Structure 1
């Protein structure tokens, strides 16, 4: 009997006498019907040229996400974006309780805000990672990044960062007699923190009051406004500079303010063919403080846009208009340098006039921005510029410089235009003047510009500070931001 049972397991033949003997008449009939149907199906497959297949496997057992172990669900939820977690918490009670696990929110801290495992102060305020995330970091995540304050023509920078269990806004402060290679100086302007009431509070850290006082923040797309409940301090830069140095760099305004509006700044995107890496550079435009400018590349043009200070000059560099430097001797003869630049300037003006006439004839409505007309020269890429042999650089006789610690060798030079916008206070209108000059590339972190009509040299040094949350979401967003800088206050 045992040998027959083994054979019954290993074979599918219905002629096993053991199975017939062990089964009753009814069971034997049912079994015979199943074998007949299987034979018919096999014969049908064989008749149609197919291959007889064995009996189908039973369907796998039903498995739900809720059946997974809690440890595995914690790892899965920690990988999801924070915006998806509230909906997930509403799915079921199990998910709701799992999403109270602090390890999920610690991971969200690291990935979204770059925080390390250094939040030891949670026990002192009696809150969990989840509560701090949803009451502080998530509501104010859009305020992180680099911002520009433009009030009545004087511009400053604001860098908003995560600082432990706080969000702090640091304002750039110009420093007296600072070299362009020095670090930017920042001072805390406000902070957002959780109080004992377990709610986020915005505190102003400026003004004549020594203790922090409350502020109100209104966040919009690409800009935010911050308002003091107590109007206890004057306009920002002029008064402070006068108190520090006994000097007035711009016209002082005694009107008190209670609301400041900032607009977001994006750092320019980079491309492998760029002359050097774009970004922020410091320059000394006057004898008292440093200004911050932004270098960006736009096809055959580069633009240097001033983002801080009391004026709005900008440089437009024609990367197709290279100035040859035979052993750097051209810098020793100011008249020869002026002649070369003047010839290029006249040619550029003629081509721009011809292009404008062509646009008027064709009645094209699209803007050309910084697209260059047809050129015969070749643009110098960053790789080619790095291979150029340095040539001696000397400041031409008669050209003034506010920074004498400039490099003594350079690589390439291009024709450029210095654009200044002046406002006539008496009549209230503005006019623009263009000064042709020479853009001088020293190295990856330094460049300069000689404005020939005013005989002035300005040295630019790369800002060494690092910033987070400053990437533009798209090239169009960066161009729109750059256009808003040129247009004036928000």
Structure 2
């Protein structure tokens, strides 16, 4: 009887007698004087039995449920497809155009590519097409997409390095070259002049135009793009970059012209909540040729100021060797800086011992990856530290006088200067005091040179400067010094 009840629940025709047999207890109960089941209750009881049978492995219903209506992307209205395609990355639209003829025709809608140019490259909505009648689709496919890899911040790879900021200017790509003046101050914004421009011509092809020279008239140039670097060339001779080159035969310095310029990509340092201050670009007055730009980054127990313009120098700050301020103010005269000399002698002894033991820090810096936390106690303390009065110690020279008058913390640091004479390389260590004034200013006092210079955070904003990984940023720092010396000898 139980087996029969299970088969009844699936609606088999051979189970009709059994269904009557299943209802017999209910009829008997009615004959005994109890209320019989109503027709609606009998229907619910049958549905319950059917569910029981189906759950216990009964025979499936020979009539399957109707299939849902088939919906294809191609059946959507064209207006909706245009909105969907416009929200996709431009790099995916080329493959989508090959899916079918309908998609291919829809992707010729210029509003799709106008939105991609706006969201991916910052092209304003109020800009009109070029006078040559170029569509946004052609601008994206022939200009922005092929040259997207050169957008960002770059360093000129020659004797006296400078910066290049490549951005999208309207419906063109422009390279702006950093041009500091001798009378610029650290508080002044960075000044850039156009170096080259890439635009579409009447032939609907991208053309590189050099904009260097006395009159800055655009003229034809050439560009070669490689991984993380590119080279520009120009046949004009009245404005090509100057560099100092040592002539072996004449044994004198001469001024020569370069026929090409090579740029290497720069990344801004990643930040961590425990950093002493927010890392980034700073502008300083420590170069005899004018202002210099440096990158402040944090690496665990150390911080590093890497100069990316001007001469090659590297400032290393030991965050674990803080110099306590005395009597509520910093050093009043140069003689009180002898504590820095004592710390420097201790550092030299410790590194000599480490070299004897063969530890990793004997390699020089002992940096950590920027991904690892910095010394958090200093980051928190810098925000809570009460400023104290600051005046340059007597005997310390400086070219500026409008430096901050209060400071928060001081650390021992070493400025490393590398010089080369013929085939011999000499490295000079200049210990001193790293002075943190506030979130946007820091300075350094050379102990032996008795000189003070100041850095201020760069207020300019840059795009496409994020490092793909902390390791990529660290590798860039290590290559900057090597690039400078290789460009010197070539």
TM-score by length of 1: 0.82
The Cα offsets for residues 388-444 of structure 1, whole Å up to 9 and x where unpaired, read as 0111111111111112110111000001001111122xx342210111110000011
Report what 2:142 is aligned to. Answer: 135
The Cα offsets for residues 443-480 of structure 1, whole Å up to 9 and x where unpaired, read as 11100000101111010011111111111111011111
SS at match of 1:331: coil
Report what 2:28 is aligned to. Answer: none
Report what 1:5 is aligned to. Answer: none
Report what 1:87 is aligned to. Answer: 95
Report what 1:277 is aligned to. Answer: 278
Distance 2:134 2:121 in 1: 19
Shift of residue 121, structure 1, vs aligned partner: 3.3
Match of 1:467 among 462, 466, 480: 462
Distance 2:364 2:417 in 1: 22
Distance 1:121 1:388, change over 3 A: same
The Cα offsets for residues 22-61 of structure 1, whole Å up to 9 and x where unpaired, read as xxxxxxxxxxx98527979998864586498986421112
Paired residues of 1:330 and 1:337 also in contact (CA < 8 A): no
| Counterpart mapping for 1:196-235 below 5 A | 196-208=202-214, 210-235=216-241
The Cα offsets for residues 257-302 of structure 1, whole Å up to 9 and x where unpaired, read as 2211100000111111111111111111245511111111111110
Distance 1:49 1:282, change over 3 A: closer
Root mean square deviation of aligned Cα? 2.9
Distance 1:364 1:267 in 2: 25
| Counterpart mapping for 1:68-467 below 5 A | 68-122=76-130, 124-151=131-158, 153-208=159-214, 210-236=216-242, 253-286=254-287, 288-309=289-310, 311-338=311-338, 340-359=339-358, 369-371=366-368, 380-424=377-421, 427-467=422-462
Match of 1:477 among 440, 455, 472: 472
Paired residues of 1:319 and 1:380 also in contact (CA < 8 A): no
Greater shift in the superposed pair: 384-393 or 47-56: 47-56
Greater shift in the superposed pair: 53-62 or 185-194: 53-62
Task: Count the aligned residue pairs.
Answer: 434
SS at match of 1:457: strand
TM-score by length of 2: 0.82
Gaps of 5+ in 1: 1-32, 239-250, 373-377
Shift of residue 488, structure 1, vs aligned partner: 2.4
Greater shift in the superposed pair: 341-350 or 183-192: 341-350
Shift of residue 365, structure 1, vs aligned partner: 12
Gaps of 5+ in 2: 1-9, 19-45, 245-251, 370-374
